[in-house]
C-alpha cells in the first residue's frame, strides 16, 4: 500500500527535485537573514514553502535550518538532509542547474548530494500522511544548509530543537554506515615571492576543500626565449593517466598560461580522482623558479607529491574498521606575496585529532608552511547491536532482498551532529558515484526506490 502511494507521487517527486536543482545553492557571501548566502536561503525557503503546501507543520530555525513534521508523540524520528551543494566546477555536458532529464536520469548539481534524497524523504512522509498510518512517534524531515562547509546549521539546530529518538541521513550509501572517519580541514599559507627570469604571476585551482581539484591554472611571466623553453618542458611532461593540459602564450603580456585538467572526486576518496593542483605543482618542480616560490613548490612536492595517504606528511595510519587516512589538496590560490591552500584529511575512526595534528603541524612548519585555520569533526562509531541499526538492516533487506552489510566511510555526514542517527543511502552497492563530480546525475528509478525504502524505515522506526 505504501509503495503504491509513492508510485502515485512520482511526477510530483521528480518535479520537486528538478525545481530544487535550479536553485544554485552554493555557499555565498553572508547577508542579513541569509547566513550562508542568498541562494542557500532561497533553497531553504523554497523547501519549507513546499512542505507547507504538502500539509506539514514547518519551522525555520534562524535561517540556517528548518524542518517539516507530521504526527504526534513525545518522541520523534528524524531524517536529516541538506540543501546546500558544492560548486559545480567545469566539464559538464549540460547546464548543472537545469535539472534536465535524459537517459532516465535527472542531471544537475545536488541531485544525488543531497537534494534528491532530501526531497524524496519529504514525499515519503507525504505518502505516510496521506495513508494516515498510525504511529507512536512524530516524524520530522530536517533541512540543513551548511553540510558542505562545516555543518554549522546542525550545530545551531541542536541548541534549541528536539533531538530524535532514532533517525538517519540519506547522504552516503547503502546498506548502513556505522562508522565515519574523523575530518580535518586545514587552511595553510606560505610565502610566495618570485625571483629570477621566471616568476609565477598567479596560481589557482580547485572549487572546495572537500573536492579533488579538477582544474588548475598557473600564469608564468618570462622573456620570450624562456617562454619557449617552458612550453617545451610542459609538452614533455608525462602526467598521470586521465590528466591533460593546454598552453596559451600571450606575447603582449610576456606570459605563458598553463591550464591543467584533472578528474574530480569526493575529498574522502582522493585516490579515485586526478588532482590538477598536484599536476601543476609537478610541472612547476621542473622549472627553474627562484625565491620563496621555488621553496614552496619544492616543499609541496616533497610532502605530498601525488600521495593521497599522508605518508610524506608523516600522518599515514589505518585501522581495521575504516581503513587508511586520506589527504586531499582541495584548493589553492596565490595572492601577491603569499599562497593559500587547503588540505582535507580523513583519519581512521579509532584514532584522535591529537594523533594527526601535532605531526602534521610539525611537517608543515618545517616546510615553511603556516596553518591559519583548522576545522574538525570527530569520528563516529555506532554499535552494530543498537536497535536503530537492527531496524534499518531489516528494512533494507526486506525492501531490496540484499544483505545489509555495515560500512565504514571517509565521508562525514549529519550523523555526527546529533545522537541516534546513522547514514542510510542513497547509493546502492556497485553503482557509479558522481557526487562532487561533473555531470552529477541520478536514475529516476533509483530515486523512487529510495523514497520507498525511506518511507518504510520512517514507519518502522516510528511505530
Residue 239 has pLDDT above 90, yes or no: no
pLDDT reported for residue 417: 95
State the average pLDDT over residues 97-120. 98
pLDDT reported for residue 383: 94
Give CATH superfamily name and number for 2-181+380-462: Zn peptidases (3.40.630.10)
Place of cell 553572508: 30
Q: What ranges do the domains of the chain cover?
A: 2-181+380-462, 183-377
Contact 123, 129 (CB under 8 A): no
- DSSP state at residue 254: T
Identify the active-site residue in 39, 88, 114, 147.
147
Tens-place pLDDT, residues 112-122 = 999 999 999 99
pLDDT reported for residue 212: 96
> What band does 261 get if pLDDT is binned at 50, 70 and 90?
very high
CA end-to-end span of the chain: 17
- Closest by CA position to 81, among listed 50, 120, 107, 54: 120
pLDDT reported for residue 442: 98
pLDDT reported for residue 35: 98
Tens-place pLDDT, residues 172-185 = 999 999 999 999 99
Tens-place pLDDT, residues 24-78 = 999 999 999 999 999 999 999 999 999 999 999 999 999 999 999 999 999 999 9
Residue 20 has pLDDT above 80, yes or no: yes
Name which of 57-61, 86-90, 237-241, 445-449 the model is least confident about: 237-241
Tens-place pLDDT, residues 343-364 = 999 999 999 999 999 999 999 9
Place of cell 558515484: 433
- Closest by CA position to 157, among listed 384, 389, 418: 418
pTM of the model: 0.88
Tens-place pLDDT, residues 213-222 = 999 999 999 9
pLDDT reported for residue 265: 92
Burial of 106 per CB tally in 10 Å (0-12, 13-18, 19+): buried
Common-topology check for domains 2-181+380-462 and 183-377: no
Residue 252 has pLDDT above 80, yes or no: no
Contact 141, 124 (CB under 8 A): no
State the average pLDDT over residues 253-270. 93
Residue 330 has pLDDT above 90, yes or no: yes
Burial code (b: 16+ CB inside 10 Å, e: under 16) for 44-83 equals bebbbebbeebebebeebebbbbbbbbbeeeebbbbbbbb
Q: 345: Cβ–Cβ under 8 A, 6 or more apart, which residues? A: 183, 184, 185, 186, 310, 315, 325, 326, 327, 328, 356, 360
> What band does 171 get if pLDDT is binned at 50, 70 and 90?
very high
> What band does 433 get if pLDDT is binned at 50, 70 and 90?
confident
Residue 323 has pLDDT above 80, yes or no: yes
pLDDT reported for residue 249: 83
Burial code (b: 16+ CB inside 10 Å, e: under 16) for 242-258 equals ebebeeebeeeeebbbb
CA distance 243 to 273: 10
Instruction: Kindly report the number of other CB atoms within 10 A of residue 221's CB atom.
Output: 18
Q: Let me know if 147 is a catalytic residue.
A: yes
pLDDT reported for residue 215: 95
Q: Let me know if 84 is a catalytic residue.
A: yes
pLDDT reported for residue 244: 86
State the average pLDDT over residues 401-419. 94
Cell of 166: 532514532
Identify the active-site residue in 39, 84, 180, 440.
84
Output the CATH code of domain 183-377: 3.30.70.360
Contact 48, 64 (CB under 8 A): no
Residue 102 has pLDDT above 90, yes or no: yes
Residue 241 has pLDDT above 90, yes or no: no
Amino acid at each position: 500500500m505504501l509503495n503504491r502511494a509513492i508510485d502515485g507521487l512520482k511526477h510530483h517527486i521528480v518535479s520537486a527535485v528538478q525545481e530544487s536543482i535550479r536553485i544554485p545553492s552554493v555557499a555565498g557571501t553572508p547577508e542579513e537573514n541569509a547566513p550562508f548566502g542568498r541562494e542557500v536561503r532561497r533553497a531553504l525557503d523554497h523547501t519549507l514553502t513546499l512542505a507547507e503546501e504538502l500539509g506539514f507543520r514547518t519551522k525555520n530555525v534562524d535561517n540556517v535550518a528548518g524542518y517539516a513534521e507530521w504526527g504526534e508523540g513525545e518522541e520523534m524520528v528524524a531524517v536529516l538532509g541538506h540543501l546546500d551543494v558544492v560548486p559545480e566546477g567545469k566539464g559538464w555536458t549540460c547546464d548543472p542547474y537545469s535539472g534536465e532529464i535524459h537517459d532516465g536520469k535527472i542531471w544537475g548539481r545536488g541531485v544525488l548530494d543531497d537534494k534528491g534524497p532530501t526531497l524524496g524523504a519529504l514525499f515519503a512522509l507525504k505518502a505516510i500522511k496521506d495513508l494516515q498510518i498510525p504511529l507512536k512517534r512524530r516524524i520530522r524531515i530536517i533541512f540543513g544548509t551548511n553540510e558542505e562547509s562545516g555543518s554549522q546549521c546542525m550545530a545551531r539546530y541542536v541548541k534549541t530543537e528536539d533531538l530524535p529518538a532514532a533517525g538517519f541521513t540519506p547522504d552516503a550509501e547503502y546498506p548502513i554506515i556505522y562508522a565515519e572517519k574523523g575530518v580535518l580541514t586545514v587552511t595553510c599559507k606560505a610565502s610566495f615571492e618570485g625571483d629570477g627570469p621566471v616568476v609565477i604571476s598567479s596560481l589557482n585551482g580547485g572549487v572546495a576543500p572537500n573536492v579533488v581539484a579538477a582544474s588548475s591554472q598557473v600564469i608564468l611571466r618570462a622573456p620570450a626565449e624562456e617562454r619557449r623553453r617552458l612550453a617545451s618542458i610542459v609538452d614533455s611532461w608525462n602526467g598521470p593517466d586521465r590528466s591533460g593540459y593546454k598552453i596559451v602564450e600571450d606575447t603582449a603580456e610576456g606570459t605563458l598560461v598553463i591550464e591543467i585538467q584533472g578528474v574530480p572526486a569526493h575529498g574522502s576518496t582522493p585516490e579515485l580522482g586526478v588532482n590538477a593542483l598536484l599536476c601543476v605543482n609537478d610541472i612547476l618542480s621542473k622549472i627553474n623558479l627562484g625565491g620563496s616560490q621555488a621553496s614552496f613548490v619544492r616543499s609541496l612536492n616533497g610532502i605530498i607529491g601525488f600521495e593521497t595517504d599522508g605518508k610524506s606528511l608523516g600522518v599515514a595510519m589505518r585501522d581495521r574498521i575504516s581503513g587508511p587516512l586520506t589527504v586531499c589538496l582541495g584548493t589553492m590560490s596565490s595572492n601577491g606575496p603569499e599562497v593559500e591552500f587547503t588540505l582535507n584529511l580523513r583519519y581512521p575512526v579509532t584514532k584522535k585529532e591529537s594523533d594527526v595534528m601535532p605531526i602534521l603541524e610539525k611537517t608543515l612548519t618545517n616546510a615553511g608552511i603556516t596553518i591559519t585555520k583548522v576545522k574538525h569533526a570527530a569520528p563516529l562509531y555506532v554499535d552494530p547491536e543498537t536497535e536503530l541499526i537492527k531496524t534499518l538492516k531489516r528494512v533494507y533487506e526486506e525492501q531490496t532482498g540484499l544483505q545489509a552489510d555495515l560500512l565504514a566511510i571517509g565521508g562525514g555526514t549529519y550523523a555526527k551532529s546529533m545522537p541516534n542517527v546513522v547514514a542510510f543511502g542513497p547509493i546502492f552497492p556497485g553503482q557509479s558515484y558522481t557526487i562532487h563530480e561533473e555531470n552529477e546525475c541520478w536514475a529516476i528509478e533509483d530515486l523512487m526506490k529510495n523514497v520507498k525504502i525511506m518511507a518504510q524505515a520512517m514507519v518502522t522506526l516510528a511505530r
